[in-house]
Amino acid sequence: MREKLSSLITEYAVNNPKVVILSGDHGYALFDSVRKAAPDQFINAGVAEQGMIGIAAGLARTGFLPIVYGLSAFLPIRVLEQIKLDLCISKLPVLLLGDGAGLVYSTLGSSHQCGEDVAALRPMPGITIYSPADAFELETCFKKAMTSPTGPTYLRIGKSDRKPVHTKLPANDEFSFTKKNSSKTLLLGTGSMSSTALEIATNLKLDSASVMRIKSFPKNLISELSAYEKVFVIEEHHRSGGLFSSVAEELCESGIKNAPRLFSVSLKDQFAEHCGSHDYALSEHGLTNAQIEKLIESRI
């Protein structure tokens, strides 16, 4: 997924001189190819995220297409107000890449971990939020954000070396089923957890789907959910404000008959306790594949 991100950035920069990439002094190797192919279009804005968002807004106002890169712990969390006032109000076409979302930086500790980015951004009027699961989803939403943006877009990039959930580009930028076993239980994943959902669905002969676009919410998803008795929403994000919240809100309001029972499989309301691998960090929240599989088995 990271190689795909690097090549997409380079491809769009080379093909359009109006594309400008700004980084808050992060993502060293990610930008090797674009720095070589289009050196003038890459700007390291320094460890100065607030200023960087304003500068991206100014560039967008003069007709440029900024791609702004940072770690999700800082972009969007540190610069929420800049996203709201500098970008959202004027619907500026700026692509925000929030890397390392969830517990990716497990060994660096809580300052670099981020389970609240989607929740923080969802109420921002006019923003689009993607949470791709693999290189295919990444390509789909990156292209959408760069070619037909309706305002700022946030692309949440979490643990990126998991097994892909697709074998080709998905048909749309919203959601897609990744396993159909005619089960009455659906595992609904997003980002890194789409791979987990697929693996467990395969093991337990359940259905799974991957949600790529969290905002604006894919309306068709709700009618699909009515076919299920139980839906487990799995995300490397806190329960408040993420995919579970989105699905619950939409489902409540939809008034569909025979609405499924929803379960949240998400980060606990706590910070990292000890240091360790990504899998270890997930285990503190009960979110390793084995833990989730066990939980689901006990509930179906």
Partner 1 sequence: MKPDLSPNTLRKLVLEMAYFGKTVHIPCAFSVVEIVSSLYSKFLRYDAKNPRSEDRDYLVLSKGHGVMALYAAFHQIGWLPREAIEKYFSDGSLLHGLSEAHIPGLEVTSGSLGHGLPIATGVALGFKREAAKSGKAPKRVFCIVGDGEMNEGSMWEAMLFASHHKLDNLTVIVDANGFQAMGKIEDILGMEPFVEKFRAFGFDAVECDGHSLEALGREFEKSVGPSTNGKPRAIIARTVKGKGVSFMENDNTWHYTRLDEQKFTRAIAEVSK
Footprint on this chain of partner 1 (rule: CB under 8 A): 17, 20, 45-46, 48, 50-64, 81-82, 85-86, 89-90
Rounded to a whole number of angstroms, the minimum distance from the CB of residue 261 to partner 1 is: 43
Smallest distance, Å, CB 86 to partner 1?
A: 6
Cβ-based nearer residue to partner 1, 36 or 61: 61
State the nearest-atom distance from the C-beta of 11 to partner 1, in Å: 20
Q: Which is nearer to partner 1, 95 or 165 (CB)?
A: 95
Residue where the block lists tokens 């946030």: 154
- Taking the CA atoms of 162, 208, 178 and 116 in sequence, report the sign of the dihedral they define: negative
Distance from C-alpha of 275 to C-alpha of 18, rounded to nearest angstrom: 42
**Alpha carbon distance 129, 225 (integer Å):** 21
Shortest separation between residue 76's beta carbon and partner 1, angstroms: 15
Least separation in angstroms between residue 153's CB and partner 1 is 18
- Shorter beta-carbon distance to partner 1: residue 54 or 276: 54
- Side-chain half-sphere exposure of 270, counting CA atoms within 13 A: 10
- Judged by beta carbon, residue 20 or residue 247, the one nearer partner 1 is 20
How many angstroms separate the CA atoms of 253 and 291, rounded? Answer: 32
Which one, 54 or 149, has the nearer CB to partner 1? 54
